[in-house]
Amino acid sequence: MFRNYRRHAIVVLLVLAALITPTGDPFTLMVVFLPLYLLWEIGAMVVPSR
């Protein structure tokens, strides 16, 4: 599931990061997005694949 929906997750995480950040500059957006994306990738590594 994690690998199949990676593109969807990136879009959702970018929208979530845009809602969390107080300003609209790209640097702040990436500062918030990168930890969220890293958590997603760590979750993909932890969950066993079938």
Q: What confidence score (pLDDT) does residue 39 get?
A: 93
Number of domains in the chain: 1
**Residue ranges making up the domain that contains 35:** 6-45
Residue 1 lies in a domain: no
User: Do residues 17 and 37 touch, judged by C-beta distance below 8 A?
Assistant: no
Q: Residue 43 corresponds to which amino acid? A: G
What does R_g of the chain's alpha carbons equal in angstroms?
Answer: 12
Q: What confidence score (pLDDT) does residue 6 get?
A: 86
Number of H helices, E strands in the chain: 2, 0
pLDDT along the chain (50 residues), means of 10: 83 92 88 93 82
Element (H, E) at 37: helix 26-46
Q: What confidence score (pLDDT) does residue 33 get?
A: 94
Residue 16 lies in a domain: yes
Whole-prediction pTM: 0.79
Within 10 A of 37 (CB to CB), how many other CB atoms are there? Answer: 17
What whole-number distance in Å separates Cα of residue 30 and Cα of residue 50? 32
Residue 50 lies in a domain: no
